[in-house]
Amino acid sequence: MIITGILHTSFLTSDLARSRAFYEGVLGLRPDPERPAMSYEGMWYDVAPNQQIHLLLLPDPEAGLQRPAYGGRDRHVALAVSDLGQLIARLERAGIACTLSSSGRCALFCRDPDGNALEFIENG
C-alpha cells in the first residue's frame, strides 16, 4: 500500500456565510454541487481534480487556543496558485492580512475568518 495523494482537507467554521464570503469571494473557489448533504452544515470546494476543501459548521474544540502569529508555524494546507501577486491584491482589497514566506520562496500565508492557516505557493 502507498499513499497516492491528498483528496481533501477540512476546516471548522463558526460562521458558514462568513467563510463562504472568503473562500468564494476572495479566493474564487466554487462550491461542488455533487457532494451529498451531511448531518451538519458545510461546504465542499473543488481545488483541482480530485482535491477539495471541506468547510464544517461544527463547534471548535480548540476555541480560545492561542495560534502562532505566523501561519507557517501552525498547521496549514499549502495551495498552488498561478499568480501570487494577483492573490495578494485580492487579499489586500478584502482587508486580509498576509505574510510572505520567511524562507524566501514565492509563497505567502494568511488565515481564513476562523483562524485556519493557509499557505499559497506560486506554481507557474
Number of H helices, E strands in the chain: 2, 7
Q: State the DSSP code for 17.
A: H
Sign, CA dihedral 110-114-116-121, equals negative
Amino acid at the residue 75: R
Q: How far apart are CA 93 and CA 95, in angstroms?
A: 5
When pLDDT is cut at 50, 70 and 90, the band that residue 65 belongs to is: confident
Structure confidence at residue 118 (pLDDT):
96
Q: What is the distance, to the nearest Å, from the Cα of residue 69 to the centroid of all Cα atoms in its chain?
A: 16
Asked if residue 102 lies in contact with residue 70, where contact means CB atoms within 8 angstroms, the answer is yes
Domains and CATH numbers, the chain: 8-59+68-122 (3.10.180.10)
Bridge partner list, 99: 109
pTM (2 decimals)?
Answer: 0.90
What pLDDT, in 10s, does the model give residues 76-99? 999 999 999 999 999 999 999 999
